[in-house]
Amino acid sequence: MDSNRFRETYQRLHAEIGRALVGQEELVDGLLVATIARGHVLIEGAPGLGKTLVARALAQVSGCGFKRIQFTPDLMPSDVTGSSIFERETSQFRFVAGPVFTQLLLADEINRAPAKTQSSLLEAMQDRTVTVDGVSRPLPEPFVVVATQNPIESQGTYPLPEAQLDRFLFKLAVLSPPADVERAIVRRHADGFDPSDLSALGSVTDAEELIAMQRFASTVRVDDAVIGYLVDVVRKTREDSAIEVGASPRASLAMLAAARVVAASEGRSFVTPDDVKPMAKPVLRHRVLLHPDAQLQGVSADDRVDDALRRTPVPRVG
């Protein structure tokens, strides 16, 4: 894998997913960057905006194994991880793997299930292993969780705890499309596009090449000045009076990994501050807890991240 091959493959992946999802370039970029950065993605938006479709399209074009879990209030942790069953013929227990044992896992409407079931993904997302009955089993590589959720104020939802949120590299917000994009979506459906059948999408790469892209991205050079810049942006969230709990050092590591992928996608072997800036909101918006007074005033996490970027001096990288 070299920089030209990386950039070409990234662009082909983006273009092919874009055939299924119209007008959601930022969502596609965020999903690809997180996947190559070996991170997980939380996608939030109202129903019908393509959250599930983009995950299915990624699985189709990447050539990775794919499974979907529909989270519901009665879903049990064993329905995610698997369980051991007793076989009378052998008088032994046999482990039956759950759907988490795949390369690309879609956790659909994750906030429809209670915290006990949500937490069944914690070990898998952090350590890429699953422990059942005291036995740890490794998950396949690459392993990416794409979780979708409806807005927290929707009926019948359970907010994800902070520990769970922190395991997601990105939180991507999906908004309703503008009128021209919505017309284009309806036109495509009128012309016969079937979102349930993505077989027309070409397989751009496979799991082995995706792993090679992950490894290449981790070698992209990062100067001390850029590291200092991204750390300063994260630390600004801990000094903001409107933020009750700021982002942890894990956010700095997430921003580093994401910025490396952005640089590689543009064919560069080094990271600049301009690679860091667009990653700030996806990395930080779910890792800061706003002060109640700020929430009452209508302040959002994105507003405070924008302020942190404004207050952080940008270094000059030669």
pLDDT band at 134 (very low <50, low <70, confident <90, very high): confident
pLDDT band at 153 (very low <50, low <70, confident <90, very high): low
pLDDT band at 282 (very low <50, low <70, confident <90, very high): very high
Last residue of a domain, one of 191, 216, 241: 216
| pLDDT at residue 155, rounded to an integer | 67
Three-class SS of the chain: CCHHHHHHHHHHHHHHHHCCCCCCHHHHHHHHHHHHCCCCEEEECCCCCCHHHHHHHHHHHHCCCEEEEECCCCCCHHHHHEEEEEECCCCEEEEEECCCCCCEEEEECHHHCCHHHHHHHHHHHHHCEEEECCEEEECCCCCEEEEEECCCCCCCCCCCCHHHHCCCCEEEECCCCCHHHHHHHHHHHHCCCCCCCCCCCCCCCCHHHHHHHHHHHCCCECCHHHHHHHHHHHHHCCCCCCEEECCCHHHHHHHHHHHHHHHHHCCCCECCHHHHHHHHHHHHCCCCEECHHHHHCCCCHHHHHHHHHHHCCCCCCC
| pLDDT at residue 100, rounded to an integer | 95
Average pLDDT of the segment spanning 182-200: 84
The answer to whether position 130 is within a domain reads yes
Last residue of a domain, one of 165, 186, 216: 216
| pLDDT at residue 67, rounded to an integer | 95
Identify the CATH number of the domain in which residue 19 sits.
3.40.50.300
Structure tokens at 153: 């104020």
Phi, psi of 212 (to 5 degrees): -65, -35
Average pLDDT of the segment spanning 157-171: 88
Whether residue 167 is found in the same domain as residue 249? no
| pLDDT at residue 151, rounded to an integer | 80
| pLDDT at residue 152, rounded to an integer | 66
pLDDT band at 191 (very low <50, low <70, confident <90, very high): confident
Identify the CATH number of the domain in which residue 273 sits.
1.10.8.80
Task: Please report, rounded to a whole number, the percentage of residues in the chain having pLDDT higher than 70.
Answer: 98
Last residue of a domain, one of 216, 232, 265: 216
Whether residue 8 is found in the same domain as residue 142? yes
Q: Which domain holds residue 14?
A: 1-175+210-216
The answer to whether position 287 is within a domain reads yes
Whether residue 147 is found in the same domain as residue 226? no
- Looking at the structure of the chain, the number of domains it has is 2
Listed range (149-163, 201-215, 248-262) with the worst mean pLDDT? 149-163
At 79-118, the pLDDT tens digits run 999 988 888 888 788 889 999 999 999 999 998 888 888 8
The answer to whether position 86 is within a domain reads yes
Residue 318: pLDDT above 70? no
pLDDT: which is higher, 66 or 199: 66
The C-alpha atoms of residue 141 and residue 128 are separated, in whole angstroms, by: 9
pLDDT: which is higher, 119 or 100: 100
| pLDDT at residue 65, rounded to an integer | 92
| pLDDT at residue 91, rounded to an integer | 78
At 204-243, the pLDDT tens digits run 999 999 999 999 999 999 999 999 999 999 999 999 989 9
Average pLDDT of the segment spanning 41-63: 91
pLDDT band at 264 (very low <50, low <70, confident <90, very high): very high
Q: What rounded mean pLDDT belongs to the chain?
A: 91
Residue 49: pLDDT above 90? no
Give the predicted TM-score (pTM) of the model: 0.92
Instruction: Report yes or no: 174 and 45 within 8 Å, Cβ to Cβ.
Output: yes
Residue 137: pLDDT above 70? yes
